[in-house]
Amino acid sequence: MKAFLIAVVAMVIIAAGAYQILEVINVSTAKAGTSSENVRLSE
Amino acid sequence: MHRLIAAFLICLPVLMGLSVASGADAQTNVPPQASTVDTNPAVSKLDDILRRQEGLKTADDAVRATETGDPDNAMPSTGQLGTLGGASDADLWRAFRFGKADITTQARVPAATTLIQDGGMWWLDFRRGPLQTIAIYLLGGTLLALALFYLVRGRIPIEGEKTGRTLLRFQAFERFGHWMLASSFVLLGITGLISLFGRTVIIPALGHEAFSSVAIVCKWVHNNVSWAFMIALIFVFVIWVVHNIPDRTDLRWLAKGGGLLGGGHPPAKKFNAGQKLIFWAVILLGGSISLSGLSLLFPFEFNLFGHTFSWLNGLGAPGWFGFADLPYPLAPQEEMQYAQLWHALISVILTAIIFAHIYLGTIGMEGAFDAMGKGEVEEQWAREHHSIWAEEIAGPKTTASKEP
């Protein structure tokens, strides 16, 4: 079952990595539905 | 004082007369407006309101979508009951409802200008009603069918005498790919079902606050573990697609039902026809789930359904089955709603298929789990279930193994 354990570890690493990457590039599903905190009314 | 009162009484009728005349003048300044309640098909009638409350479509939505106001025909804004702008309130609300209004919002996000999304209630009703019913019947029915099958057929044993020798069935990288796909799918399935049944099952059981924490964790897991699923899906496709191309052996295998019901073991290569069906179901349905999932992960960025519906309407496909044209164009929210329904529906179907796969790979068949557990299988098992492959790997059977 070594392959299973390595696969689970890989899954966790990929999930955490994906989260970090999306955070860094500032992409999230929540932000697509809400305005930014500093709204500029003149735009 | 008496004179003053007398003068007031004499003047009163004159003042009243002037007031009435002034009111009459004001009325005559306003052009007469005929009621359009009975003649304008855009005006909601009681029947329409009742149908809408029942979640049914109203007949005149197409007309209503066009009745969004003509500034030239509006009441003059200078009149006593004039409008503030070019369109009446009813016209304006219809324009909101059918996406015809020119809207500017403070929020700079793609769907912010859709203030009323008419299709949303249909989606909400379907999600908390038929979709959950389908999921319960499909998943519950599959589990029940497998339990009945187990009671009737029992565990499929290795029929011949075991050799004590093993054959390498799957290498470590193959098992790695399988288990990453499987473990991510299980996590996605559990978190997806919790999200789907949260409002109807879990909130009544645990309460809103407890479910809130559960939902936050589930959302994080579902959104991020999905990447592992997609990577694993591509990985297993690359390593196994060569072995899963259908051939004549599969027709013979299918004709005998794989030996599941009638006994016997039709010849099979590395993957038999049943496993090939599972493979292609995972690739195609998993691929479709991934695409709709990506559409949900990046809301409004790429829309799958509006273009597909338009293309199908162009072919006349809905008419082949007696249906009206599919809705097009779709509001941004509608795109997401169709993506969510498709994502959930296909996921439930794939989960039911995977239930059968898990059953046969574990308690349903003796020796099957070793293939993915250890990577090596009993030679006799291989000769019974994958005779062509076993002969390629180990050569013709020896006296220790018995071909059924």
Q: Which long-range contacts (CB under 8 A, 24 or more apart) does B129-136 make?
A: B131/B196, B131/B341, B131/B344, B131/B345, B132/B196, B132/B197, B132/B200, B134/B345, B134/B348, B135/B193, B135/B196, B135/B197, B135/B344, B135/B348
pLDDT for residue B9: 56
B110 chain-A contacts, CB cut-off 8 A? 32
pLDDT in tens, B192-217: 999 999 999 999 999 999 999 999 99
Interchain pair A2, B299: CB under 8 A? no
A4, A10, A35 ranked by CB distance to B108: nearest: A35
C-alpha A20/C-alpha B373 separation (Å) is: 32
Which DSSP category does B30 fall into? S
Nearest C-alpha in A relative to B301: A32
**Residue B104 touches partner A, C-beta closer than 8 Å:** no
- Strand-pair category, B166-168 with B376-378: antiparallel
A26 CA to chain B: closest CA distance, Å? Answer: 12
Question: Do residues A14 and B227 make contact, with C-beta atoms less than 8 angstroms apart?
Answer: yes
Which DSSP category does B156 fall into? B
A4, A16, A35 ranked by CB distance to B107: nearest: A35
C-alpha B383/C-alpha B391 separation (Å) is: 7
In chain B, the percentage of residues whose pLDDT exceeds 70 is 82
C-alpha B166/C-alpha B163 separation (Å) is: 8
Report the complex ipTM. Answer: 0.86
A6 CA to chain B: closest CA distance, Å? Answer: 7
Direct distance between the N- and C-terminal alpha carbons of chain A, in angstroms, rounded to an integer? 58
pLDDT for residue B201: 93
Question: Do residues B269 and B330 make contact, with C-beta atoms less than 8 angstroms apart?
Answer: no
**Residue B189 touches partner A, C-beta closer than 8 Å:** no
A1, A29, A36 ranked by CB distance to B373: nearest: A1
CA B49 to the chain's CA centroid:
28
The pLDDT of residue B314 is above 90: yes
Q: pLDDT by residue for chain A (43 residues), tens digit each? A: 899 999 999 999 999 999 999 999 888 777 776 666 665 555 4
pLDDT for residue B280: 98
Interchain pair B183, A27: CB under 8 A? no
Tell me whether residue B250 is exposed, middle or buried, using C-beta atoms within 10 angstroms of its C-beta: 0 to 12, 13 to 18, 19 or more: buried
**Residue B120 touches partner A, C-beta closer than 8 Å:** no
* Phi then psi dihedrals of residue B168, to 5 deg: -70, 110
**Residue B239 touches partner A, C-beta closer than 8 Å:** no
- Structure tokens, A38: 């500093």
**Residue B179 touches partner A, C-beta closer than 8 Å:** yes
pLDDT for residue B79: 67
B177 chain-A contacts, CB cut-off 8 A? 7
**Residue B177 touches partner A, C-beta closer than 8 Å:** yes
**Residue B41 touches partner A, C-beta closer than 8 Å:** no
pLDDT for residue B139: 97
The pLDDT of residue B25 is above 50: no
The pLDDT of residue B100 is above 60: yes
B299 chain-A contacts, CB cut-off 8 A? 29, 32-33
C-alpha B225/C-alpha B378 separation (Å) is: 34
- Going B62 to B128 to B334 to B115, the CA torsion angle's sign is positive
pTM of the model: 0.80
Interchain pair A39, B220: CB under 8 A? no
Q: What is the mean pLDDT of chain B?
A: 85
B175, B182, B227 ranked by CB distance to A18: nearest: B227
Distances (CA, A) of B340 to B22, B187, B305: 63, 18, 11
The pLDDT of residue B235 is above 80: yes
Question: Do residues B174 and B271 make contact, with C-beta atoms less than 8 angstroms apart?
Answer: no
pLDDT in tens, B325-355: 998 888 888 999 999 999 999 999 999 999 9
C-alpha B370/C-alpha B380 separation (Å) is: 13
User: From the DSSP assignment, how many helices (H) and strands (E) are in chain B?
Assistant: 17, 2
